[in-house]
Structure 1
Amino acid sequence: MIPYHGHHSAKHFIRNKPDRFGYKMWMMCSADGYPCNFSNYGGKDENRKLPLGPQVVMDMWQPVVNKYSRHIFDNFFTSYALMVDLTKQGFRACGTIRENRTGKCPLLPKKEIEKKERGSYDYRSDNMVLCARWNDNSIVTDASNYYGVSPIQKVNRWVKNEGKRRVEQPYLISMYNKGMGGVDVCDKMLSTYRPRMRSKKWWWNIFSQLLNLSIVASYRFYQHVNPDSRVTH
């Protein structure tokens, strides 16, 4: 979200965001927060051919050259149909997925998984997309067109009446956890030194956001080129 409290038709209100009022910006970032691509959301597009989440993913990936790099996204974007389309285009992807977007995948119901011990999982695959459901703090459902369940990982979890112990975790969920959070990292860096100026111009906040974004990108690029440097953001 780009903070903005004035009047404009593109302004949004999202209750659970740190900045609830402002312009909505879609972003694609690396795991360390480097901004790879972005697009401002102006509202409903009558020419859109796909649901909003998949359409954003397709638009964000237009400049991607290396299709063999992994791509992670959350359940707002993920759907079975999207995974099939990405498979046909050669993209490797993984993401959490909502119950009504699994393409009627016959996974065990959440209530049944909850009754099993922590670390229990169930999965199904049609040789193109794999969906897995895992019993963690809450039930986690992931879908991937590249990662599988094996090799099974071991993670530390607190188990009731037993204390901390190692439980099983499907491989695709482990890889999702390693790659997730890049947009949040970028957002945190953007909010640290956000330019502030009183102005009645609606475009100023977007302009200052782009300046701020270029600083974050420059810093991450500098860290990549100079891994031993102690220069801070």
Structure 2
Amino acid sequence: MKTAGLLALFIFTLCFMDNCKAQKNDNNHNIAIEILPTFKGKQILKNKWYITLLGDSIQISKLRFYLTDFELFNTQDKRLPIPKSTYLIDAFNKQTLSFELHTHKKHNFSQITFKIGVDEKLHDAGAQSGDLDPIHGMYWAWQSGYINFKLEGESPSCPTRKNKFSFHIGGYKSPHSTTRNHTLDLKDRLSSSIKIEVDISVFFKDINLSERNQIMIPGEAAYQQSLKFPLLFSISK
């Protein structure tokens, strides 16, 4: 009888643990994020020729930027921050174009918010590891911090060596902070996957490459260019 009682207790314990594990798994919800770098709605290909809105022919050889501090809002406007959500996106490295946000419960999400660039607290912390490792070429120095957005390529319009253009947009100190908050409407859907399009043609909207083809330090020019960042990002249909 004693053995039978112990066996029953063992079976009950296993069932209880399995049930708790199942409930925990039911509460977990992963949201797949896919980043789609485009130029006028077409996928960006390395060194392919494109025409800007002002008529400059360009090739893009490098496109990297940070997306950080993701938050989700459900239909009751409840805020769901996603901890440790810092991602370096490289348009020509497929592995960086998709990632998952981990939440504890399923919700009908109405909005997703994030920063384009690195938050001030991360700049102040100095060089770090992972996607924030200086090895990725996105860190200037402790005085200037991280490069939030890097775009390089060439154009016959550029009167520079090898017709190169380089836009390294960074700076986190007032009044020239280049980190931008952005909110996207998810239309109250239960989202297991979200596609975010980044149309780089908008970046060149007001740039005449024969006159402006480099921004390499924090300051007014970098700040003004960063104001365009939110215009680049939209929910892909």
TM-score (norm 1): 0.22
Q: More relative contact order in 1 or in 2 (CA 8 Å, sep 6+)?
A: 2
Higher helix share: 1
Instruction: Find the structure with the greater CA-based Rg.
Output: 2
